[in-house]
Chain A
Amino acid sequence: MKYDLVIIGAGPAGMCAAIQAASNGARVALVDENPVPGGKLRGQVYKEPKSDWWIGEKIVRSMESKIKQLGVTCFLEREVWGIYPKWKVMLNNGEQLESDFVLIATGAAEKAIPIPGWTTPGVMAIGAAQVLANIQRVKPGNRVAIIGIDALSLTIAYDLKMAGVNVVGIYLPPLNAFSLEKSNPLKMIAYLSSLSHLAPNPMLKLLGKLGQIESVQKLGVNYYPPFGMKVWGIPLHLRKAVVEIIGNEAVEEIVVAAVDQNGQLGRKQEKRIPVDCACISGGLYPLVELANAAGCESVYIEELGGHIPLYNEELETTQSGIFVAGNSTGIEGAKVAMAQGELVGTVISIRLGFVEGGPELIKKAKEKVNLERENAVIKFHPGLENGRAKLERLSRIRE
């Protein structure tokens, strides 16, 4: 089948691109391996700083009905396994979708931090806990420990608390080749201070403020209470690491050890704490395998999450006709992903000759991306702006 645009990934980026292009008259195919569209947006629930609650599920539903109205062809429960020139998108049921324009909006995957016992049932990546609690409405566990301190894990701790889960504590991962600075209390305090003051929940907000106070940064680690500090009723431990997860058929206990201010394990006795679920948060990285296999050049930019396809201001990769949007361009929030989707939808509609007034429309769409970026409530990496600047430089050099 030939389409004007084939979109891989029905997260916020892919859905917005589909709506934009289809409302301009393009024949759009939207593919996702999930039975329902929405991607990670469906699990998001938080209070907006100056307005109402942001409820991902509701936003997805309204976009879904627009997509139906506009006659976008949806291929759900279909995995894309490859893109061949020029361009054929291959689905796992043997179908192939043809188009001159392809948008890769496949989102991000979670980085793991291995800990002895992390394959035991009941240990999961932090994102799984959000999906279970907010989308499926099943508690990931009754007593849950969170390992890894970052914007995502703190957000999800709050989600779990709202869902009535007993979060027994948020801990550091153990110092090893995989946790690196995530196991370092000093670095973590500095990180907390970079969290936005616009943060969407009381937990992030308080920590952001706390971290900004210089004396806390200097002294905080040494004087950090051994029982942790309770934030919204959840003990946050900056001086304790989970060194092992124990259980035969399912998680039964975590083993917690005190660490010094650099994350080195102390000689003090370890303590066992009973839990039935442990969630590990190691951060996110863009899923770039399809772009990479299709021959798109990639670059490594740590602040954007690692390897990403090189793309220009219009979000086109080095393979002409292949675009990226959302987390496949770097790790940012849902609103940025949506604005990027609209930008790509606009650019492609113009190239297809469906709309006039090209440069002006593109300029507007780009401005919207920047605006959402400035107003973002969650910042996934403190050096995001730096990363963006690096990417722009590389892209200009390439051109």
Chain B
Amino acid sequence: MIICRCEEVLLRDIITSIENGAETLKAIKMETRAGMGICQGRTCRVLLEQAIAPYTDITIQETNNIMYKNPVRPISLANLSRSGKDSSQ
């Protein structure tokens, strides 16, 4: 069953990555690309938190602390440079 629609990541992939030693939400995301798609996790972020809940002792409250960074929406590089900002600012 697909969990991350954007990156076509299956529940199985997420569980496998936990079994292979991924210990944080970030590690799972890096390994599976879940939550890294064009919607920036708007559809799957809550699902990822729920999927890993049985495997971790991290509570949902903590998993999400200050996760968002600008830009929160996909924008073209041209527009980013026109506005004089980069995402690391």
Direct contact of A and B (CB under 8 A): yes
B44 at the interface (CB under 8 A from A): yes
Known: A81-B72, A84-B85. A112 touches B54 (CB 8 A): no
Q: A172 on the interface (CB 8 Å rule)?
A: no
Contact A115 B1 (CB under 8 A): yes
By a CB distance below 8 angstroms, the chain A residues around B44 are 112
| In contact, B1 and A177 (Cβ under 8 angstroms) | no
B2 touches A90 (CB 8 A): no
Given contacts A79-B73, A118-B1, 12 further A-B contacts (CB under 8 A): A80-B73, A81-B73, A81-B75, A90-B85, A93-B79, A109-B42, A114-B2, A177-B51, A177-B54, A290-B72, A292-B68, A307-B64
B78 (CB) vs chain A CBs: closest residue:
A94
> Do A114 and B64 form a contact, CB below 8 Å, given A84-B85, A96-B83?
no
B73 cross-chain contacts in A, Cβ below 8 A: 79-81, 92
CB interface residues, B 1-33, toward A, < 8 Å: 1-3, 5, 11
Which residue numbers of A lie inside 8 Å of B, CB to CB?
79-84, 90, 92-96, 109, 111-112, 114-116, 118-119, 177-178, 180, 285, 287-290, 292-293, 298, 300, 306-307
In the complex, A180→B50 CA distance in Å?
10
CA distance A118 to B61 in the complex (A): 27
- In the bound complex, how far is the Cα of B1 from the Cα of A118, in angstroms? 8
Report whether A112 and B43 are in contact in the complex, using a CB–CB cutoff of 8 Å.
Answer: yes
The interface residues of chain B lying within 8 Å CB-to-CB of A180 are 50
B60: contacting residue among A90, A115, A118, A300, CB under 8 A: A300
CB distance from A122 to the nearest CB of B (A): 15
Contact A300 B61 (CB under 8 A): yes
A131, B89: Cα distance in complex, Å: 37
* Docked-complex contact A116 and B79, CB < 8 angstroms: no
Nearest CB of chain B from residue A396's CB, rounded to whole Å: 19
CB B86 to nearest CB in A, in angstroms, measures: 11
A82 touches which of B46, B53, B70, B82 (Cβ 8 Å): B70
In the complex the two chains form, is A306's CB within 8 Å of B71's CB? no
Q: How far is the CB of B49 from chain A (nearest CB, A)?
A: 10
Would you mind naming 20 contact pairs between A and B with Cβ atoms under 8 Å apart? A79-B75, A82-B72, A82-B85, A84-B70, A84-B85, A90-B83, A94-B82, A112-B47, A114-B3, A115-B1, A177-B53, A177-B54, A178-B50, A288-B68, A289-B40, A293-B69, A293-B70, A298-B64, A298-B66, A300-B61
How far in angstroms is the closest Cβ of chain B from A222? 29
Contact between A114 and B47, CB atoms less than 8 A apart? yes
**Are B67 and A292 interface neighbours, CB within 8 A?**
yes
Q: Contacts A93-B79, A292-B67 given: A306-B72 contact, CB under 8 Å?
A: no
Contacts of B61 in A (CB 8 A): 300
CB contact between A285 and one of B46, B54, B83 (< 8 Å): that residue: B46
Cβ–Cβ contact A112 & B79, under 8 A: no
Contacts A94-B79, A94-B82; A293 near B72 (Cβ below 8 A): yes
Q: Once the chains bind, are B47 and A178 in contact (CB under 8 Å)?
A: yes
Residues in A whose Cβ lies below 8 Å from that of B5:
119
Write the chain A residue with the least CB distance to B76.
A92
What is the CB-to-nearest-CB distance from A118 to chain B, in angstroms, rounded to a whole number?
A: 7
Contacts of A300 in B (CB 8 A): 60-61, 64
A298: B residues at CB distance < 8 A: 64-66
A116 to chain B: closest residue by CB? B1
Chain A residues with CB under 8 Å of B65's CB are 298
